[in-house]
Amino acid sequence: MPEESTKWRNFLVDFAKKIGKPDAEVYVDTGKWKARQGGNGLKAAEDVKIKYTNCTAEENAKIYQLNKPITDDFYTLFTPFGKVSKELGRKLLKEVLVLDIATNIPIMSLQPFQQQNYEYAIKVKTMNVQKHDDLQRMIGYQIRKYNSCRKCLKCESVCNFGAITVNKNTYRIDTNKCRHCKMCVTAKYLDAGCLMAGYLVTKAESQEKTYEVQSA
């Protein structure tokens, strides 16, 4: 089936280019595309773990560890929750607010934070909601995506409105296309908010158990 084979190869090459492989055709023709994303080992598994501490100074606030500086791409990840507003936040604190799309009431405060042992961190406080823990859990999903997106493109397929774009450098949500359905931050549609998270964490636990057995 040469025609189907050519079509499949072209699909793989296009995908490889989209996720930033420097030599897409070599990547495909040598079979490297078959390697599972977990091949990065324990380091990759560590990336998908959500690391945070509870803020002792404020109720319903958590401080999340980031593995890179905060950029505009980071703030677009909060678009599913509502309107992201830099204008209404406290300027001296570099605070960004997220407003409920229906009421225009702030439901979230995002504030860059300096935390011991964290080179980069963000303090996220939830407010004016009934279920703070549920909202913080979904926030954690977005933190995971910012820290460890493996460009599997599952998030793109989950979004029915074409609002999510993943390429070799960024994970972005188009504020003009997003309809705030929250499918991309709901475990029912995307377990743990990330397709790779379950596999990588399981892989890490398996390797750690193997190491313990060998050490014993």
Residue 161 shares a structural domain with residue 123: yes
The answer for 99, left when phi > 0, alpha when psi is -120 to 50, beta otherwise, is beta
- Say if 64 falls within a structural domain: yes
pLDDT, tens digit, 9 for 90 and up, residues 93-110: 999 999 999 999 999 999
H/E run at residue 173: strand 171-173
Planar angle of CA 196, 200, 201, nearest 5 degrees: 120
3-state secondary structure the chain: CHHHHHHHHHHHHHHHHHCCCCCHHHHHHCCHHHCCHHHHCHHHHHHHCCCEEECCCCCCEEEEEECCCCCHHHHHCCHHHCEEECCCCCHHHCCEEEECCCCCCEEEEEEECCECCECEEEEEEECCCCCHHHHHHHHHHHHHHHHHCCCCCHHHHHCCCCCEEECCCCEEECCCCCCCCCHHHCCCCCHHHCHHHHHHHHHHHHHHHHHHHHHC
Residue 144 shares a structural domain with residue 183: yes
Residue 133 shares a structural domain with residue 181: yes
CB atoms within 10 A of CB 167: 13
- Say if 213 falls within a structural domain: no
Q: Which of 51-55, 116-120, 170-174 has the lowest mean pLDDT?
A: 116-120
Residue 7 shares a structural domain with residue 69: no
pLDDT, tens digit, 9 for 90 and up, residues 113-126: 987 778 899 999 99
- Say if 216 falls within a structural domain: no
What is the predicted pLDDT for the residue at 36? 52
Q: What percent of the chain has pLDDT over 70?
A: 82
Residue 76 shares a structural domain with residue 2: no
Structural domain for 5, as ranges: 1-35
Label the pairing between strands 61-66 and 120-126.
antiparallel
Q: Give the number of domains in the chain.
A: 2
Residue 25 shares a structural domain with residue 125: no
Residue 12 shares a structural domain with residue 48: no
- Say if 47 falls within a structural domain: yes
Residue 156 shares a structural domain with residue 188: yes
The average pLDDT across 19-37 equals: 73
Residue 21 shares a structural domain with residue 41: no
- Say if 212 falls within a structural domain: no
- Say if 188 falls within a structural domain: yes
- Say if 58 falls within a structural domain: yes
- Say if 43 falls within a structural domain: yes
Q: 101 is written with which tokens? A: 């799309």
Residue 24 shares a structural domain with residue 41: no
Q: Which amino acid is at 47?
A: D
Residue 63 shares a structural domain with residue 118: yes
Residue 62 shares a structural domain with residue 27: no
Q: Is-above-0.75 flag for pTM?
A: no
